[in-house]
Structure 1
Amino acid sequence: MLSLLKINNLALVDQLVWQLDTGLVGVTGETGAGKSVIVGALKLVLGERAEKSLIRTGEETCTVEAVFDLADAPVVNSILEDSGLDACDDGQLIVKRVIGLTSNKQFINNSPATLAVLKSLGAYLVDLHGPHDHQGLLSTERQLSMLDAYAGATELGRDFRKAWRHWRSASDSLHNFQTAGVEGERELELLRHQLHEIDAAKPNPDEEEELETHYQRASNSSRLVELATGATNLLSAGEDTLMDRFGQLQKLCRDLEKLDPGLRETLEGVDRAVMELQEIDSGLIDYLDDLSTDPAELAALEERINTLETLKRKYGPGLDDVLVHRNEIADRLDSVENRAERLQELENEVAAARKLADAAGSKLSEKRRKAAPKLAKEIARHLKELGFKQAAFEVRLLPHREPEAGGLEGVEFEFGPNPGEPMKPLRQIASSGEISRVMLSVKSALADQDATPLMVFDEIDANVGGEIARAVGEKMARLGERHQVVAITHFPQVAAVAAHHFVVSKEVRDGRTCSQLVQVQDEDRIVELVRMLGGGGKQARAMAESLLV
């Protein structure tokens, strides 16, 4: 139930703290007193977009805060958890909207939230109906969910939707496969050519660096031979080489060391230098032996580099990308060349999925066929109590050619208010008075299955007579035995049957008009009913008192 509604600086309301109880709560007041503010506040709680014009003149913000006490809230907690918010461990849910001149904010249990989350929660918290708020009832999708709830087929509906989604997914895969066929033999030949070109080259990303090094060496082999030969000539070839001179130096140093051992440390580097020069000379000689100047090898290296560059140009930019493209081509060819086999697999999957969907749909349809006439009879009974003495109501099942998300059939609620006149779908009913009473009849028939904690009826008794208004009120009161019901009404017959009666009025304080909400009981309630009856005197008072009996 909604246990508390707080409003600050919303339209004519400067401050309102409304504590609600269970059962039918009646709200009355003169036209323009501010009853619509309550509905507006609830719509804000339900995630409706807010306009700056709602802010009370002279103020910068307005706030609306609602506290819901939920005995069992698995769906609400699931929505909260999916949105990254804490669940209602204590069963209490607090929703707050702050509307500002520059920005708006919303909170759930003191944590920031989005309007989308508020709307998701609102669908499970409040069922709001006004003179023109019957779109939900007129929607065939909503009518189907009502029938399923009445039939106890909600779980079967979930099972069917799961099977239906699997069938649709398999059907989409088959369709995509069929429409993505090879565009003739040319495409097939192109795929084979590309695969052969890549496989013949056997590209290896690890070879590029080594290949480039070998190519640079081979392409500069003549100059490398010239330079390396010149170095070895200086070191050891010919006459008066570096090695000869270092040999002479080494002999002189050894003679010096014999005469003066103290020079050992100074001269010991000569031997190391001689050894290093010998190693350099030996390494250059080996390098010259390994250095190839074969033009054929250079040509082969050039050809290999060109081959890899061509592959990168076509399928790259890098060799890794070339290999990825190669695997894609192979998969595509495999798919194409084994097309008939894959097509049969997909067709089998679709057939199996359709069989499961049909089986789940048949179970759901059977439940609906049994429940539809019972629901129609129940709604018709409530309609008679609301003044449609000879009205007819039918819940018509309309088979689909192919399974749809809602099942193997749709539904249409049809209504015939007058004998001899054809039945019409609810969406074709023009009278707001008629559709309001039909909506109340449907709600009454589904009272045990409807899990919405709060129902709000905003002047749905408009355009009905006094006797019918009393029946409407009694119907709301019986709904109040299973739900918390708020009825905003102009009819004393409705207000009189409410378990709790509140009056909205206007007063001027410090030159400003303000709306206020007070609960009336005993004598104050009789006075309000007399006002609603449109006159004073003993007769009006007696009528008001009789309404409360």
Structure 2
Amino acid sequence: MLEFLKIENLALLKSAQLDFKRGFTVVTGETGAGKSVLLGALSILAGNRAGKEIIGSNSERCSVEAVLNFTETGRIDEILKDCGLPVCEDGALVLRRIIERNKAGKCFVNGSLSTLANLQKIGEFWVDFHGSNEPQKLFSSKNQLMMLDDFAKIGELKAEYLAFYGEILASEKRIAELKGAKKMSADEMEFAKSQIEKIDALRLSEEGIAELENSYKLMENSREVLEKSQAVAEMLGGEDGVCDKLACAIRLSGEISNSCAEASALARRINEVSIEISDISDEFSSLSENCSFTEEDALQIRERMDAWLNIRRKYGSSVREVLKIRDEMAQKIALQGDVKASIKREEENIERLKVLIFPISEKILKEREKAGALLEKKVVSLLKKTGFKHPDFKVRITASEVVGADCGSVCEFEFSANPGQAPLPLAKIASSGELARVMLAIKTTMADADHTALLVFDEVDANVGGEIGAEVGGELAKLSGEHQVLCVTHLPQVAAFGANHLLVEKFQTSSFTSVKISELNPNSEERVSELARMLGDRNSASALTHARELLTSKIS
């Protein structure tokens, strides 16, 4: 959920810091007061385009910051990792965007500099806008299909289908490679085979090459290492060396330990040092012994090192790069065999997979049709409550002609507000008020399936009356049980349902205009006054009484 929002120098709003709560938040204010500033701030953080004209006058930049909190961060953390961004700490996602007047803007996610594209990708997860001139995820037939599948709860069936589909794609890729493979000459074939043999003879591994390089370096400097390691071993452990002197020191300190407790402790420390130095002396002795290479050993190391350096010069500076090119050469050779027979085998494999995938796609189609019929029924029922007398909502499901990622069928959400008018795709609904109420009905029905944290409705009550407004408000309040809901409204019947209430006010002088956003206490007289204003007159006794009745009956 959205917990905190900070806005600076956005249009007429100089500065605002807002704490948000769970549930249903309403935003009210006079027409033209600047309610769009709040929605604009959220749109900016969602990664939508914003021109420099939104920067407040007498300012060089505007900034918007938000803190969102998630009880489960698995999905958002996965998105952040894909974007190369820090994951959420303690469930918090921190977003910040700065728009500069004279230079490029900046985006930050969890304190890390990011891109607008990443902000858009993250925005698709946490916020969904519904209103005029706002992006509509449900316009996309792909997103509609995803929502229908979530509603139908067919994740396991889809996973089974997509596993077979992945195998089909792999076979199609191999066919394309076979058809596009360049024919190698006999000399090219022989050369490639010889190179593969040379690489395989080295038995390449990261550890093996590291050991080879260490052995080669030691061999090349073996005389110096031998002489100096022997000298060190003699200085430490030889006759009259450090260990002998320490043994004498241990004996002397032991003789006075009975008379001095401190001497006893020091004697133990000398003994520990003596043991460590003795071990070091032994290891230098072993090192000197390991520096003895026979002529045969030295020859093998040099030959293997020369072979590795030769391969590395040709095919890459690391074991991984060399092995990658080796596999590519082997693949080219493999493709030089019976191409027609290989293509036929892959084609037969595709046909076999299609036979297996067909009954799964049939099951998915039936489940989608069943879920679509139920969705239609529930959405129509809700549409009638929100002011449509004869609404028609259809989930058009069509079987696909080809095997694809859509799992065998596609869908399109369609709507008609008037009898006798054929339902049209959602993207072709002209009225933003109608569209917003259709979205509300769909979102309410699919609340369990939709995981978007914040739903923003802009004037969802457009062109509806008081009684219908109460129904709209009730549905928004119900929707807020599964999501955080923010709604800009002009209807007091809707505003009364808000568990939280933000008031936007515009202040003007002869030379200055500003916007202020403040939070109203849910049961305060300020809120009663605002509802009375929306009813027609904040100074009217009847309007004030009506406002109190709305709050009493609508706020639990």
SS of structure 2 residue aligned to 1:460: coil
Which consecutive residues of structure 2, in runs of 5 or more, have no partner in the other structure?
A: 193-197, 199-312, 316-326
Give the Cα separation in 2 of the matches to 1:393 and 1:372.
10
AA at the equivalent of 1:35 = K
Give the Cα separation in 2 of the matches to 1:374 and 1:119.
32
* Correspondence for 2:350: 350
Q: Deviations over 1:69-113 (max 9, x none)?
A: 111111111122233332213011111112222131121222222
* Correspondence for 1:449: 449
Give the Cα separation in 2 of the matches to 1:107 and 1:16.
19
Give the Cα separation in 1 of the matches to 2:418 and 2:191.
81
* Correspondence for 1:529: 531
Give the Cα separation in 1 of the matches to 2:99 and 2:341.
62
Q: Give how far 1:509 is off.
A: 7.8
Percent identity (aligned)? 38
SS of structure 1 residue aligned to 2:402: strand
Q: Deviations over 1:26-46 (max 9, x none)?
A: 101112222111111111111
**RMSD value over aligned CA atoms?**
3.4
Residues 45 and 65, structure 2, Cα contact 8 Å, conserved in 1: yes
* Correspondence for 2:53: 53
Number of residue pairs matched? Answer: 423
Q: Give how far 1:336 is off.
A: 5.8
AA at the equivalent of 1:123 = E
1:23 aligns with 2:28: no
* Correspondence for 1:129: 130
Q: TM-score, normalised by structure 1?
A: 0.69
Give the Cα separation in 2 of the matches to 1:381 and 1:403.
35
Residues 396 and 411, structure 2, Cα contact 8 Å, conserved in 1: yes
* Correspondence for 2:72: 72
Residues 157 and 406, structure 1, Cα contact 8 Å, conserved in 2: no
Give the Cα separation in 1 of the matches to 2:328 and 2:386.
70
> Cα–Cα, structure 1 residues 367 and 506, in superposed 2: closer, same or farther, change >3 Å?
same
* Correspondence for 1:211: none
> Cα–Cα, structure 1 residues 61 and 162, in superposed 2: closer, same or farther, change >3 Å?
farther
Give the Cα separation in 1 of the matches to 2:78 and 2:118.
11
Residues 403 and 409, structure 1, Cα contact 8 Å, conserved in 2: no
Give the Cα separation in 2 of the matches to 1:356 and 1:478.
43
AA at the equivalent of 1:91 = G
Give the Cα separation in 2 of the matches to 1:151 and 1:319.
56
* Correspondence for 2:139: 138
Residues 64 and 97, structure 2, Cα contact 8 Å, conserved in 1: yes
SS of structure 1 residue aligned to 2:84: coil
Residues 34 and 515, structure 1, Cα contact 8 Å, conserved in 2: yes
Give the Cα separation in 2 of the matches to 1:132 and 1:517.
23
AA at the equivalent of 2:534 = M
Q: Give how far 1:328 is off.
A: 11
1:546 aligns with 2:553: no
SS of structure 2 residue aligned to 1:160: helix
SS of structure 2 residue aligned to 1:407: coil
Give the Cα separation in 1 of the matches to 2:372 and 2:331.
52
SS of structure 2 residue aligned to 1:401: coil
Which consecutive residues of structure 1, in runs of 5 or more, have no partner in the other structure?
A: 183-187, 200-204, 206-317, 321-326
* Correspondence for 1:120: 121
AA at the equivalent of 2:44 = L
> Cα–Cα, structure 1 residues 22 and 195, in superposed 2: closer, same or farther, change >3 Å?
closer
SS of structure 1 residue aligned to 2:400: strand
Q: Give how far 1:396 is off.
A: 2.2
Residues 505 and 515, structure 1, Cα contact 8 Å, conserved in 2: yes
* Correspondence for 2:471: 471
Q: Which structure's CA Rg is the greater one? A: 1
> Cα–Cα, structure 1 residues 14 and 423, in superposed 2: closer, same or farther, change >3 Å?
closer
Q: Give how far 1:174 is off.
A: 2.4
> Cα–Cα, structure 1 residues 347 and 513, in superposed 2: closer, same or farther, change >3 Å?
same
**Mapping for residues 37-48 of structure 1, pairs under 5 Å:** 37-48=37-48
Task: Answer with 170-179 or 70-79: which moved more.
Answer: 170-179
Residues 47 and 119, structure 2, Cα contact 8 Å, conserved in 1: yes
* Correspondence for 2:112: 111
* Correspondence for 1:269: none
> Cα–Cα, structure 1 residues 176 and 4, in superposed 2: closer, same or farther, change >3 Å?
same
Give the Cα separation in 2 of the matches to 1:195 and 1:22.
69
Q: Give how far 1:131 is off.
A: 2.4
Residues 385 and 471, structure 1, Cα contact 8 Å, conserved in 2: yes
Q: Give how far 1:160 is off.
A: 3.2
AA at the equivalent of 2:536 = G
